Chain A
């Protein structure tokens, strides 16, 4: 006979304000097998847990039901408490009467009824719970960081610092990411390259770090502690081990009209190229879309001038397989293309640029050597208009619903830098709100207004249109003085929204992690687990999780590293024992379960069975690899013959719950 204890939590007033907890405890005390039913103000507190522990000992309980918050919150707390007094932790069930009851209902009577029903279902289930033992699986002591921007670099450096091997996979020919393209950083105005490139070099030289540049993750298998990842090393037609980065090939390449993506297409590069002077690894890459040798077999100059014989036109994509214990996603962001916003004339006027393009125009390594000139006629601009929130905070499908967070600060930076260097240039900034929460951020913005005389105007720009005299007519509203304005500008700069990199969505599918509707990775808990994904072993670093500036990105990158290190120091991790298993006698080998398994945990074996007539027959049956199974339960639903069952959530347990609810 089962001896079950029921413990109803008030959660302060979170539950008790809407659910009559004493009535719930009373009602559940009459359920079959229940020998004790109690309520308490905070069941998760130490004294609350002691209540549970003492009851287990005193009443020799064989099962425990805690009516409290979501199992995602405290299931582990109560399982541990049970285990500490010798009760198998999998004999503890949670009835969620907070998120699924008290928080969503207003009427006390009906909420109490529902809480009782949820409690009865849990009692019915716990009758059928079997003790489970968690196995252990070893941890591969190597981490993978996907993305080599400042987030990925910082995470890799911190993991390497702790003595673990770490690989960076970067899809571009060099690490560095967006920060490498930025001229100066707010709020201190130090040079981005000066603080980034030493970190890039450090990553390259660290004995624990391997950089796979111009590479992509093409497949991920396995689970926390034991991922198997296939990395595609894209053909760069240059032998990385031989190339010295001397740059002679890039000087001699006759194909000089390739848009230079590092400078946002504002100037050209050659078909064989090194993205920028401080690139890491400093290795040339041939762009097959433009190389004449690769396109039609005519040229071959780079191969002739290369003194070390590094050019290899026959190189193909290579795939390498590597095992990792933890994976850090650091895929970053991109500014959106403003070409959907025709009111800003971005596609028809070269003097309308995005903020990242302005960074390149002002950068000493940029197309104009650091002198700010209009792209159209290379003249000095006397009036510059900045437009904030282009594509951010939009309620239509053209833009993004969120605030891109970094634009207010970088626009203040741009405005200040321009006024500092060219005092004869008037700068206007049109804004909806100026958002400057951050250390020394508001002081920075105020300096732009008060010390540098930047004209901040609350209002949106309605129209930008080139005029016949080469100037740009900017039509806008000043909301504070309720006036329509026309500004004759020389340049217009659009602070475009930022969005997650396009590679993030397919990667999330490979990693079986969640994303929000904007394709930002979802953290396991928005407050308490901000750098982990809900999938064990997948950790989030930087802007792939949401818009972030550099200080925040670096802080999160180090936090991600701490989470990865916390995993890698363990020799083994406890496996989830709630995995699927197949009843071979019932299985007919139909493959339904294999098709729905997202983890590839199911395989088929031919097995010999003794038949009722004493003959033997060979049948094809499913078999689950418990180390790979994540216990999602998809196979148990798909199985037409009911052969698949899930430990801890067996078909009979679920049916018992349903029966209890429907009674």
Chain B
């Protein structure tokens, strides 16, 4: 059994409990142990607008340091993944920044990006393997046309995240194939859902998330999957569409026949 450090992040403890629970249950079924570090803090996402650049890195570095000696740090939330992986990328290339962070945190030695950061989808693709996953599926989504929604945070900036081609990604489509479904390619799959603008300008968020849903529907999708709690919120609540939206981990758990037990 392979063991990874698992960082859930704040939203997975509150609004997105499903995303978290299904991720843990599925990992176990796939032979991966996810260990949550003690006393973890915010990923740093809340500080991303801080004017002091080092300030925005501190929180992420704490998380990264906690996973330094493990096989890797696994995240599920698109935003946590984005913040932590970008920080890891920046700090491995910027010695001055690494030293600043070292001084702020009172570390003996500067952290220089030694931890490997993996999104849960990368864990499925690169550690488990989509072929192996497909072999373990007991409850395939046969005949289901599933649209993958990447949103803005999962793939960009592509150099730092190094996950997939941001313009023509395939990781979620391959995932959909692995769980027996048929992926739907549509124009808006990597466009913005409206994000935080929903707090200020609901009409704008409605326009953006509506465009995502209608573009997917136009290409014949039955449902949409996403990895991001904020995307899920906008697509469900603001788009005005009744097409179902799920976390990808929920479909994963269902395909592995785990949905009932973990939902309790």
The stretch of A170-178, A340-348, A416-424 that contacts the partner chain: A340-348
The 9 closest A-B pairs by CB, nearest first: A342-B168, A465-B187, A342-B167, A343-B167, A473-B187, A468-B218, A468-B219, A342-B165, A467-B218
Extra contacts, 7 of them, besides A463-B191, A467-B218, A473-B215 (Cβ < 8 A), are A342-B165, A342-B168, A343-B167, A348-B168, A348-B185, A468-B219, A468-B220
Residue of chain A at shortest CB distance from B189: A465
Residue of chain A at shortest CB distance from B190: A463
The yes or no answer to A475 lying at the interface (CB within 8 A) is yes
The yes or no answer to B186 lying at the interface (CB within 8 A) is yes
- Find B187's partner among A341, A342, A347, A467 (CB 8 Å cutoff): A467
- Residues of chain A lying within 8 A (CB to CB) of residue B218: 467-468
Residue of chain B at shortest CB distance from A347: B168
Looking at the assembled complex, report how far the CB atom of B67 sits from the nearest CB atom of chain A, in whole angstroms: 31
A475 contacts B187, CB within 8 Å? yes
CA distance A473 to B218 in the complex (A): 12
- Residues of chain A lying within 8 A (CB to CB) of residue B191: 463
CA distance A468 to B185 in the complex (A): 10
Residue of chain B at shortest CB distance from A467: B218
How many residues of A are in contact with the other chain, CB < 8 A? 12
- Residues of chain A lying within 8 A (CB to CB) of residue B215: 473
A341 contacts B167, CB within 8 Å? yes
Looking at the assembled complex, report how far the CB atom of A639 sits from the nearest CB atom of chain B, in whole angstroms: 43
Q: Mark A453-471, 1 if CB is under 8 A from B, else 0.
A: 0000000000101011000
- Residues of chain B lying within 8 A (CB to CB) of residue A343: 167-168
Looking at the assembled complex, report how far the CB atom of B19 sits from the nearest CB atom of chain A, in whole angstroms: 28
Residue of chain A at shortest CB distance from B219: A468
Residue of chain B at shortest CB distance from A475: B187
- Residues of chain B lying within 8 A (CB to CB) of residue A475: 187
B168 contacts A463, CB within 8 Å? no
Residue of chain B at shortest CB distance from A465: B187
Residue of chain A at shortest CB distance from B184: A468
- Contacting B at CB under 8 A, from A451-498, are 463, 465, 467-468, 473, 475
- Residues of chain A lying within 8 A (CB to CB) of residue B187: 463, 465, 467, 473, 475
Looking at the assembled complex, report how far the CB atom of B63 sits from the nearest CB atom of chain A, in whole angstroms: 30
CA distance A475 to B218 in the complex (A): 16
11 sample A-B contacts, Cβ–Cβ < 8 Å, listed by A number: A345-B168, A463-B191, A465-B185, A465-B187, A467-B218, A467-B219, A468-B218, A468-B219, A468-B220, A473-B187, A475-B187
Looking at the assembled complex, report how far the CB atom of A607 sits from the nearest CB atom of chain B, in whole angstroms: 59
Looking at the assembled complex, report how far the CB atom of B195 sits from the nearest CB atom of chain A, in whole angstroms: 16
CA distance A348 to B173 in the complex (A): 15
Looking at the assembled complex, report how far the CB atom of A394 sits from the nearest CB atom of chain B, in whole angstroms: 14
CA distance A468 to B219 in the complex (A): 5
- Residues of chain A lying within 8 A (CB to CB) of residue B219: 467-468
Residue of chain A at shortest CB distance from B217: A468
- Residues of chain B lying within 8 A (CB to CB) of residue A463: 167, 187, 191
- Contacting A at CB under 8 A, from B157-181, are 165, 167-168
Q: Mark B200-219, 1 if CB is under 8 A from A, else 0.
A: 00000000000000010011
- Residues of chain B lying within 8 A (CB to CB) of residue A341: 167
- Find B186's partner among A342, A347, A465 (CB 8 Å cutoff): A465
CA distance A347 to B219 in the complex (A): 18
Would you call the interface of chain B mostly helix, strand, loop, or mixed? loop
Looking at the assembled complex, report how far the CB atom of A477 sits from the nearest CB atom of chain B, in whole angstroms: 13
Residue of chain A at shortest CB distance from B218: A468
CA distance A465 to B211 in the complex (A): 14
Q: Mark A328-347, 1 if CB is under 8 A from B, else 0.
A: 00000000000001110101
Q: Mark A639-650, 1 if CB is under 8 A from B, else 0.
A: 000000000000
CA distance A493 to B167 in the complex (A): 18
Looking at the assembled complex, report how far the CB atom of A492 sits from the nearest CB atom of chain B, in whole angstroms: 13
CA distance A41 to B215 in the complex (A): 73
CA distance A465 to B167 in the complex (A): 11
Looking at the assembled complex, report how far the CB atom of A347 sits from the nearest CB atom of chain B, in whole angstroms: 8
Residue of chain A at shortest CB distance from B211: A486
CA distance A66 to B72 in the complex (A): 67
- Residues of chain B lying within 8 A (CB to CB) of residue A467: 187, 218-219
CA distance A478 to B187 in the complex (A): 19
CA distance A347 to B185 in the complex (A): 14
Residue of chain A at shortest CB distance from B220: A468
- Contacting B at CB under 8 A, from A303-352, are 341-343, 345, 347-348
CA distance A178 to B116 in the complex (A): 49
- Residues of chain B lying within 8 A (CB to CB) of residue A473: 187, 215
CA distance A431 to B219 in the complex (A): 30
CA distance A468 to B215 in the complex (A): 9
Interface centre among B167, B186, B219, B220 (most CB of A within 10 A): B167
Looking at the assembled complex, report how far the CB atom of A212 sits from the nearest CB atom of chain B, in whole angstroms: 42
- Residues of chain B lying within 8 A (CB to CB) of residue A345: 168
Interface centre among B168, B185, B218, B220 (most CB of A within 10 A): B168
- Contacting B at CB under 8 A, from A88-134, are none
Looking at the assembled complex, report how far the CB atom of A225 sits from the nearest CB atom of chain B, in whole angstroms: 51
CA distance A345 to B191 in the complex (A): 15
- Residues of chain B lying within 8 A (CB to CB) of residue A347: 168
- Residues of chain B lying within 8 A (CB to CB) of residue A468: 218-220
CA distance A343 to B167 in the complex (A): 5
Interface centre among A341, A348, A463 (most CB of B within 10 A): A463
Q: Mark B216-250, 1 if CB is under 8 A from A, else 0.
A: 00111000000000000000000000000000000
Residue of chain B at shortest CB distance from A396: B159
Interface centre among B187, B219, B220 (most CB of A within 10 A): B187
Looking at the assembled complex, report how far the CB atom of A217 sits from the nearest CB atom of chain B, in whole angstroms: 38
Looking at the assembled complex, report how far the CB atom of B211 sits from the nearest CB atom of chain A, in whole angstroms: 9
CA distance A473 to B187 in the complex (A): 8
Residue of chain B at shortest CB distance from A473: B187
- Residues of chain A lying within 8 A (CB to CB) of residue B186: 465
- Residues of chain A lying within 8 A (CB to CB) of residue B165: 342
CA distance A441 to B77 in the complex (A): 54
- Residues of chain A lying within 8 A (CB to CB) of residue B168: 342-343, 345, 347-348
Looking at the assembled complex, report how far the CB atom of B15 sits from the nearest CB atom of chain A, in whole angstroms: 30
CA distance A345 to B190 in the complex (A): 14
Looking at the assembled complex, report how far the CB atom of A449 sits from the nearest CB atom of chain B, in whole angstroms: 29
CA distance A444 to B220 in the complex (A): 45
Looking at the assembled complex, report how far the CB atom of B176 sits from the nearest CB atom of chain A, in whole angstroms: 17
CA distance A465 to B191 in the complex (A): 12
Looking at the assembled complex, report how far the CB atom of A478 sits from the nearest CB atom of chain B, in whole angstroms: 17
- Residues of chain A lying within 8 A (CB to CB) of residue B220: 468
Looking at the assembled complex, report how far the CB atom of A259 sits from the nearest CB atom of chain B, in whole angstroms: 23
CA distance A463 to B215 in the complex (A): 13
Looking at the assembled complex, report how far the CB atom of A616 sits from the nearest CB atom of chain B, in whole angstroms: 66
Looking at the assembled complex, report how far the CB atom of B12 sits from the nearest CB atom of chain A, in whole angstroms: 31
Looking at the assembled complex, report how far the CB atom of A470 sits from the nearest CB atom of chain B, in whole angstroms: 12
Looking at the assembled complex, report how far the CB atom of B145 sits from the nearest CB atom of chain A, in whole angstroms: 12
CA distance A467 to B215 in the complex (A): 8
CA distance A473 to B212 in the complex (A): 13
Residue of chain B at shortest CB distance from A464: B187
CA distance A473 to B188 in the complex (A): 10
- Residues of chain B lying within 8 A (CB to CB) of residue A342: 165, 167-168
Looking at the assembled complex, report how far the CB atom of B95 sits from the nearest CB atom of chain A, in whole angstroms: 24
CA distance A343 to B219 in the complex (A): 18
CA distance A342 to B158 in the complex (A): 13
CA distance A354 to B262 in the complex (A): 52
Looking at the assembled complex, report how far the CB atom of A162 sits from the nearest CB atom of chain B, in whole angstroms: 53
CA distance A475 to B212 in the complex (A): 13
Looking at the assembled complex, report how far the CB atom of B164 sits from the nearest CB atom of chain A, in whole angstroms: 11
Looking at the assembled complex, report how far the CB atom of B217 sits from the nearest CB atom of chain A, in whole angstroms: 9
Looking at the assembled complex, report how far the CB atom of A349 sits from the nearest CB atom of chain B, in whole angstroms: 11
CA distance A554 to B152 in the complex (A): 49
Looking at the assembled complex, report how far the CB atom of B161 sits from the nearest CB atom of chain A, in whole angstroms: 15
CA distance A31 to B185 in the complex (A): 80
Looking at the assembled complex, report how far the CB atom of B26 sits from the nearest CB atom of chain A, in whole angstroms: 30
CA distance A341 to B185 in the complex (A): 17
CA distance A475 to B187 in the complex (A): 9
CA distance A345 to B167 in the complex (A): 9
CA distance A468 to B145 in the complex (A): 14
- Residues of chain B lying within 8 A (CB to CB) of residue A465: 185-187
